[in-house]
């Protein structure tokens, strides 16, 4: 029975095995085992028991140079970094020239940056001078005109090389990609829908491991891929301002997302999220949060801490009750709660004095509160596909309203105050139960589109003649037998009537 690295380590810690014997047993597994995981674990155990000797260095050096498994080479590099950094230059120089694995190349570059000797610096400068990517070269030429390349530290040079390695690997896998460079480092990267750019089985179904190296990244677009999870390492992208992960298959977001304190825009629409981490409340700079079309049943209380939030899209989830923790989101300008299971308009909406768009379509609303009229900045109100039988009189107080969609409800009348909506341009009353259209509609002198499709109207009020701005009138599926003469006059002025 083959010894396991765990047992060897345990016996060593319990002093049942001396250090030399433990090392020899680990080396035996590394050299002879067919089990890749056991070999990798044995390499890392050498680090754990601090196996510093020339023989171990030679072993790791040979593995780096000759082993066919990327994981063996990578873990050998990591142990060399930990135990033999002072002697690491020569094997890293050789590996930098011959290694092809991105994972290993990034680890090698990182070590050369840490060594920070004239030798390592010279090697890194030489590598930079051999970069052939046109966009990167153009940026570097500008950079080195402002600041001599010799003045850069090994660490700074290694970061430039790491960014180049990543671009080269992406272009090898996906063809031409869109990215932007600033001071030798990628700050914008577009990997949206990259799977459709190539033939074969090259698809992006895993969050790239290399992302943690792109610490200057400000804009990252990964929409329309097949990602299922986001790793903890997302927290390393502390410069991130705009992150688009929409149209994937992501089921959860790690707690480390809260470390992205510079983030302004987070787009997670059309994924499979059932919950959000509490750390979402740490995104103090966030202004736009798009969670449309997920599977959320609730939101964490900490969301109240995102006080700068201006756009919150929760359309198409499984939300039924949203508690008052939202009342502190007083900067909101757009709020979409459509296609959920909401039966009452939450009271915390009332103080949102800057709200311009409120989406409530596709819920289970049977009535609206009288305080709706306090939303004095509202321009778009979506109430379609609910169970409303009437509108509150206070709706007339929202004089800023430009678009009101009420299709597929149970309305038979409109409040008298409706005539006060002097800025309304779009009114959709389709698929309700109107038998008579109220005269107040004729007072809406800014109205451009009036949709009355699917009601029980037999005639139209003459007050509609006053709608000089009207461009489209939809009368389909009603009971109107004759078109009134006044509509003929409006048609001559350009009105389009669907009937």
Chain segment 384-435, per-residue pLDDT in tens: 999 999 999 999 999 999 999 999 999 999 999 999 999 999 999 999 999 9
- Residue 251: φ, ψ to 5°: -100, -20
Closest by CA position to 405, among listed 423, 372, 440, 431 = 431
Total domains in the chain come to 2
Q: What percent of the chain has pLDDT over 90?
A: 91
Q: What is the mean pLDDT of residues 101-119?
A: 97
- Residue 355: φ, ψ to 5°: -65, 125
pLDDT in tens, 342-368: 999 999 999 999 999 999 999 999 999
Q: Are residues 134 and 14 in the same domain?
A: yes
Q: What is the pTM of this model?
A: 0.93
159 lies in some domain: yes
Q: What is the mean pLDDT of residues 363-374?
A: 98
Name the CA dihedral angle for 206, 209, 213, 215, rounded to a multiple of 10 degrees. 30
pLDDT in tens, 73-83: 999 999 999 99
Range of the domain at 210: 191-295
Q: Are residues 138 and 251 in the same domain?
A: no
Q: Are residues 162 and 195 in the same domain?
A: no
289 lies in some domain: yes
Burial 241-267 (b: 16+ CB within 10 A, else e): bbbbbbbbebbebbebbbbbebbbbbb
pLDDT in tens, 436-482: 999 999 999 999 999 999 999 999 999 999 999 999 999 999 999 88
CATH no. for residue 98?
1.25.10.10
**β-bridge mates for residue 408, sequence order:** none
Q: Are residues 208 and 146 in the same domain?
A: no
Q: Are residues 18 and 152 in the same domain?
A: yes
Q: Are residues 63 and 200 in the same domain?
A: no
334 lies in some domain: no
**In the predicted model, is pLDDT for residue 199 greater than 70?**
no
Element (H, E) at 341: none
CATH no. for residue 243?
3.80.10.10
301 lies in some domain: no
Of 239, 268, 295, which marks where a domain is finished? 295
pLDDT in tens, 128-155: 999 999 999 999 999 999 999 999 999 9
CA distance 204 to 202: 7
pLDDT of residue 2: 64
Going 315 to 318 to 320 to 326, the CA torsion angle's sign is negative
- Rounded mean pLDDT of the chain? 95
287 lies in some domain: yes
Q: Give the pLDDT band (50/70/90) at residue 323.
A: confident
CA distance 258 to 164: 28
Of 241, 271, 295, which marks where a domain is finished? 295
Q: What is the mean pLDDT of residues 283-307?
A: 97
Closest by CA position to 454, among listed 385, 401, 375 = 385
- Residue 193: φ, ψ to 5°: 55, 35
Q: Are residues 75 and 144 in the same domain?
A: yes
**Pairing of β 178-182 and β 185-190:** antiparallel
**In the predicted model, is pLDDT for residue 372 greater than 60?**
yes
pLDDT in tens, 239-294: 999 999 999 999 999 999 999 999 999 999 999 999 999 999 999 999 999 999 99
Enumerate residues 6+ apart whose C-beta is below 8 A from 433.
410, 411, 412, 455, 456
380 lies in some domain: no
**In the predicted model, is pLDDT for residue 197 greater than 60?**
no
- For the chain, helix, strand, coil in percent to 5 are 40, 10, 50
pLDDT of residue 200: 47
Q: Are residues 69 and 120 in the same domain?
A: yes
318 lies in some domain: no
Q: Are residues 146 and 277 in the same domain?
A: no
Q: Are residues 248 and 158 in the same domain?
A: no
487 lies in some domain: no
Q: Give the pLDDT band (50/70/90) at residue 295.
A: very high
Q: Are residues 147 and 248 in the same domain?
A: no
Q: Are residues 25 and 121 in the same domain?
A: yes
Of 166, 199, 217, which marks where a domain is finished? 166
Q: What percent of the chain has pLDDT over 70?
A: 98
Three-state SS string over 170-212 comes to: HHHHHCCCEEEEECCEEEEEECCCHHHHCCCCCCCCCCCHHHH
């Amino acid at each position: 029975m083959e010894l396991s690295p765990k047992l060897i380590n345990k016996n060593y810690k319990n002093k049942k095995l001396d250090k030399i014997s433990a090392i020899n047993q680990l080396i035996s597994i590394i050299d002879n085992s067919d089990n890749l995981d056991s070999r990798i674990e044995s390499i890392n155990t050498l680090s754990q028991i601090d196996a510093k000797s020339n023989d171990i260095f030679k072993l790791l050096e040979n593995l780096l140079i000759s082993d066919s498994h990327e994981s063996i080479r990578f873990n050998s590099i990591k142990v060399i970094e930990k135990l033999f950094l002072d002697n690491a230059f020569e094997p890293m120089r050789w590996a930098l020239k011959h290694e092809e694995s991105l994972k290993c190349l990034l680890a090698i570059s990182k070590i050369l940056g840490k060594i920070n000797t004239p030798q390592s610096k010279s090697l890194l400068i030489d590598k930079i001078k051999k970069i052939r990517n046109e966009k990167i070269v153009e940026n570097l030429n500008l950079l080195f005109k402002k600041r001599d390349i010799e003045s850069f530290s090994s660490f700074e040079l290694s970061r430039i090389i790491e960014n180049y390695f990543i671009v080269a690997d992406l272009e090898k896998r996906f063809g031409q990609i869109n990215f932007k460079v600033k001071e030798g480092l990628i700050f914008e990267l577009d990997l949206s829908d990259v799977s459709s750019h190539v033939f074969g089985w090259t698809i992006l179904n895993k969050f790239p491991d290399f992302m943690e190296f792109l610490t200057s990244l400000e804009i990252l677009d990964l929409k329309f891929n097949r990602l299922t999870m986001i790793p903890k390492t997302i927290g390393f992208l502390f410069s991130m301002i705009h992150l688009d992960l929409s149209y994937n298959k992501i089921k959860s977001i790690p707690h480390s997302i809260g470390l992205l304190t510079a983030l302004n825009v987070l787009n997670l629409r059309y994924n499979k999220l059932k919950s959000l981490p509490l750390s979402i409340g740490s995104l103090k700079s966030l202004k736009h949060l798009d969670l449309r079309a997920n599977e959320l049943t609730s939101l964490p209380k900490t969301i109240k801490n995102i006080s700068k939030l201006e756009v919150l899209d929760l359309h198409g989830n499984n939300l039924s009750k949203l508690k008052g923790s939202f009342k502190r989101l007083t900067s909101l300008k757009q709020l979409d709660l459509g296609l959920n299971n909401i039966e009452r308009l939450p009271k915390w909406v009332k103080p949102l004095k800057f709200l311009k768009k409120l989406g409530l379509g596709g819920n289970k609303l049977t009535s609206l509160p009288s305080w709706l009229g306090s939303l004095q900045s509202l321009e778009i109100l979506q109430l379609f596909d609910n169970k409303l039988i009437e509108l509150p009189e206070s709706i007339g107080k929202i004089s800023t309203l430009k678009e009101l969609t009420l299709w597929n409800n149970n309305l038979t009348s409109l409040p008298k105050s409706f005539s006060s909506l002097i800025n309304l341009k779009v009114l959709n009353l389709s698929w309700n139960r109107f038998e008579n259209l109220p005269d107040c509609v004729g007072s809406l002198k800014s109205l451009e589109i009036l949709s009355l499709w699917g009601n029980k109207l037999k005639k139209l009020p003459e007050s509609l003649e006053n709608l000089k701005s009207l461009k489209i009138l939809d009368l389909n599926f009603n009971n109107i037998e004759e078109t009134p003469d006044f509509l003929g006059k409006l048609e001559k002025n350009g009105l389009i009537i669907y009937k």
